Amino acid sequence: MYLRLGKRLIDIAAGFFGIVILSPFFIALAVAVRIKLGSPIIFSQTRAGYKGKAFKLYKFRSMTNEKDAYGTLLPDSERLTAFGKTLRAWSLDELPQMWNILKGDISLVGVRPLHMEYLPLYNSEQMRRHDVKPGLTGNAQVNGRNAISWDDKFALDSWYVDNIGFWVDMKIIFKTFGVVLSRKGISDGQSETSTFFTGSNQRDD
């Protein structure tokens, strides 16, 4: 019953009340992004959703559009400003995904939606992460975030697929507040943003 109806009802309520209650904060944050980084204030990225279906994920902009002499975007570390780092540290750049939750693209709790380019790189076990709807937060995000390896993230995702339920979701939501407040696991210690997935050592035979 929870998977068929309860989870979606919680998502609708969370998305609706999140947008309504936080609307003054959304407006203030949008103005700050416009002043600090320019436009667009909100950008979208194509991500893989349930069963690998593509959808548009929304975020507040956290990087500039600075390019080199050849018109190529500079590395993330050079485009990520102090303001942008603050947005990411407190997960404020993720707030527009309340709209994704309300639309049904993602759930409040699930597995984090990743790039479409990763789909051919997954082994069969990792591909199981798409058997559930993506989420604003998830098991991997409260157990290491970007500070753990891709294989560990996918193992935590698989655990969630096998154990999804009301109390599991409530525990992850509760732990999410602690992770955000502590700002643990924001980076892997090597780059300002999550490293690009290039394939796993745990391949299918």
Q: Would you state the structure tokens that stand for residue 171, as one six-digit string? A: 């525990």
pLDDT 10s digits, 108-120: 999 999 999 999 9
Q: Whole-prediction pTM value?
A: 0.87
Q: Would you state the structure tokens that stand for residue 136, as one six-digit string? A: 């604003």
Does residue 190 surpass a pLDDT of 70?
Answer: no
Rounded CA-CA distance 88/110 in Å is: 20
Rounded CA-CA distance 144/112 in Å is: 13
For the chain, domain boundaries: 2-182
What type of residue sits at position 37?
L
Give me the phi and psi of 134, to 5 degrees please.
Answer: -60, 165
Quick one: pLDDT band at residue 92, thresholds 50, 70, 90?
very high
